[in-house]
Structure 1
């Protein structure tokens, strides 16, 4: 996952997270923590959806999971949300 430089801080490395097939976050790197604004202890073991922006169409998220569960690549820009509610642009790959 990489961020849109126009709406997010710069990172030493792209924000990355590892999820279970059910969307539970297993691990993430420091850039991902910085992007989300959520402490690692609150992220790991919880649903990845907590960083979804409320204006993100549900159909896009469903399409993403359908492709990933089928083992297909999926790349699209999506809206993310920090813990403080601020929007961040994310290109999910």
Structure 2
């Protein structure tokens, strides 16, 4: 399926509850995804998860936001019609007045081609690692470890590497 692009000056915004159910999405999200707002609100955010996106990245995402830290990552999302788009995601916990997580806020922008070119082959290898495991959890853990090892080999961690593409 073809890749969909979005303008550099637009951002995709969504909010979810703690179970990742979409509670808000902006016009850019609606336009890029090809869904109507009514088809997104109340649905799990993984409605746009592309099957070529390694689960190891999501393991890192959930571990990060569970500690109430911000997550930064490159994600490949699927449009309603099967097309896809890459997005540089920043996901932050939304906190109530007592500091309890009540949901998540995600802002995604267009990544650079260099970032996609760096991570796409790593993600492909992660998927292969996941598919080689008979146990889903073991596959996710193995691919996540592969990702960490790849960035250790680059002398950077995953987030530091991603952020350097936007400085």
SS in 1 for 2:11: coil
Higher Rg of the two aligned structures: 2
Q: Gaps spanning 5+ residues in structure 2: where?
A: 91-167
Structure 1 residue 36 corresponds to structure 2 residue 33? yes
Distance across 2 between alignment mates of 1:7 and 1:25: 22
Deviation, 1:21, is 1.4
TM-score in terms of structure 1 length? 0.85
1:65 aligns with 2:62: yes
Secondary structure, aligned partner of 1:76: strand
| 1:80 partner SS | strand
Q: Kindly indicate whether residue 82 of structure 2 is the aligned counterpart of residue 92 of structure 1.
A: no
Deviations for 1:13-34, whole angstroms, at most 9, x for unmatched residues? 3110001111110001101111
Secondary structure in 2 matching 1:68 = helix
Q: Look up the SS of the partner of 2:58 in the other structure.
A: helix
TM-score between the two structures when normalised by the length of structure 2: 0.49
Q: Is the 8 A contact 2:76 2:86 kept in 1?
A: yes
Partner of 2:10: 13
* Structure 1 residue runs without a partner (length 5+): 1-5
Q: Determine whether 1:51 maps to 2:48.
A: yes
Could you list the structure 1 runs, at least 4 aligned residues long, displaced by more than 3 angstroms after superposition.
none
CA distance in 2, matches of 1:68, 1:86: 28
Distance (Å, rounded) in 2 between the aligned partners of 1:66 and 1:30: 29
User: Is this contact kept in 1: 2:4–2:32, CA < 8 A?
Assistant: no
* Aligned partners of 1:53 and 1:81 also within 8 Å: yes
